[in-house]
């Protein structure tokens, strides 16, 4: 008779999502010998609404939570014990039934510029095509290069790279972290510094959601939690919470800690979808807890919010 798994991890079925879940599984096994036994950890792949929708941008289909909705449903139904998420896909407000119990050390948070023919965003010729499905990448690219033509690129990393190879666009953006985790780092033409294209809040970080009050899973995850990463992510998500950002809002947020860990520097930016209007800000403040970091993020978010005309804010957040 097969022994039931001690822990079941739930994830999207894409190669990147599975690779990220395997990173978590390996860390759990290293921290807890009992989980290293054969079959102690099971991985359940779940198709999300975001995976099913390939013919239009996510903002037309309901926004960011589409990549975690079905995974959370499985978690709350007891079908899985831990839900593994890319933090950039997790809405700022968590449901009461779930809690983020662990954030793993962050991989490279930058966006990658990828092109077969051109070395950088600025090297693209006038009227070149940029393939992306992300509204942040679209808006921030157009803010710098309003001449670009944006074409819809949906699908997983491999699908997007194949579309680029087939000439469906002159260039595309993908997350550096995802390419590294898939062993595709050689595909990167140039890694874009945050000063060039500000990353999405949480980009490059893996988060683990559990059922609220599940002390067994929380204890398993406690040794894996990276406080440094969690502080930065909390600040970034604080900005997002104030600006009501989902996949409907072109927003970037990126936090770093100083060398002694005493203060956070947070940068954030918001744009209209066509990139014609752009607001940004930065702030450095002390933060030693995730609650302080989130509050810090909310302060910067409120400062940005005051800069944006009410009619424009309603439009970019989908409230108009």
Cβ contact 62:85 at 8 Å: no
pLDDT digits (tens, 9 = 90+) for 78-112: 999 999 999 998 988 899 999 999 999 999 999 99
Q: What percent of the chain has pLDDT over 70?
A: 92
Q: Which residues are catalytic?
A: 89
- 3-class DSSP state for residue 175? strand
Burial per residue of 36-66, b for 16 or more beta-carbon CB atoms within 10 angstroms, e otherwise: eeeebbebbebebebbebeeebbbeeebbbb
Pick from 75, 73, 54, 56: nearest CA to 208: 75
The domain locations on the chain are 1-105+205-225, 111-192, 227-320
pLDDT, average across residues 58-76: 76
* Range with the poorest average pLDDT among 135-139, 150-154, 218-222, 242-246: 242-246
Fold held by 227-320:
Double Stranded RNA Binding Domain (3.30.160)
Query: What pLDDT was estimated at residue 1?
Result: 46
Looking at domain 1-105+205-225, which of 3.40.190.10, 3.10.150.10, 3.40.50.300, 3.10.450.350 is its CATH number? 3.40.190.10
Q: How confident is the model at residue 245 (pLDDT cuts 50, 70, 90)?
A: low
Confirm whether 1-105+205-225 and 227-320 share one CATH topology: no
Residue 274 has pLDDT above 80, yes or no: yes
Which regions of 19-169 does DSSP assign to beta strands (E)? 41-45, 82-86, 98-103, 111-114, 129-131, 149-151
Residue 30 has pLDDT above 60, yes or no: yes
From CA 121, how far away is CA 170, in angstroms rounded? Answer: 10
Residue 260 has pLDDT above 80, yes or no: no
DSSP H or E run through 283: strand 278-286
pLDDT, average across residues 281-309: 95
Q: Is 282 left (phi over 0), alpha (psi -120 to 50) or beta?
A: beta
Query: What pLDDT was estimated at residue 231?
Result: 96
Fold held by 111-192:
D-Maltodextrin-Binding Protein; domain 2 (3.40.190)
- pTM comes to 0.92
From CA 120, how far away is CA 127, in angstroms rounded? Answer: 15
DSSP H or E run through 191: strand 190-192
């Amino acid at each position: 008779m097969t022994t039931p798994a001690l822990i079941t991890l739930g994830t999207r079925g894409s190669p990147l999502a599975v690779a990220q879940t395997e990173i978590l599984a390996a860390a759990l096994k290293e921290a807890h010998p009992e989980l290293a036994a054969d079959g102690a950890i099971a991985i359940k792949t779940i198709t999300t609404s975001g995976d099913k929708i390939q013919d239009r941008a996510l903002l037309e289909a309901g926004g960011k939570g589409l990549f975690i909705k079905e995974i959370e449903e499985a978690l709350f139904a007891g079908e899985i014990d831990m839900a593994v998420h890319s933090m950039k896909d997790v809405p700022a407000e968590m449901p009461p039934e779930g809690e983020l119990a662990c954030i793993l050390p962050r991989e490279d948070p930058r966006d990658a510029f990828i092109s077969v023919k051109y070395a950088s965003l600025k090297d693209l010729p006038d009227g070149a095509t940029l393939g992306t499905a992300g509204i942040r990448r679209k808006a921030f690219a157009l803010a710098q290069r309003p001449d670009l033509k944006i074409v819809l690129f949906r699908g997983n990393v491999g699908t997007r790279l194949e579309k680029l190879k087939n000439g469906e666009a002159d260039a595309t953006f993908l997350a550096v972290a995802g390419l590294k985790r898939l062993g595709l780092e050689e595909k990167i033409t140039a890694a874009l510094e945050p000063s060039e294209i500000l990353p999405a809040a949480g980009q490059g970080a893996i988060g683990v959601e559990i059922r609220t009050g599940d002390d067994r899973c929380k204890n398993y995850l406690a040794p894996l939690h990276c406080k440094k990463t969690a502080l930065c992510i909390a600040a970034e998500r604080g900005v997002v919470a104030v600006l009501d950002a989902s996949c409907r809002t072109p927003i970037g947020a990126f936090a770093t800690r100083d060398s002694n860990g005493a203060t956070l520097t947070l940068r954030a930016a918001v744009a209209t979808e066509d990139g014609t209007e752009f607001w940004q800000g930065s702030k450095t403040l002390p933060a030693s807890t995730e609650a302080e970091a989130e509050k810090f993020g909310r302060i910067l978010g409120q400062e940005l919010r005051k800069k944006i005309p009410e009619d424009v804010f309603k439009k970019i957040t989908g409230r108009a």
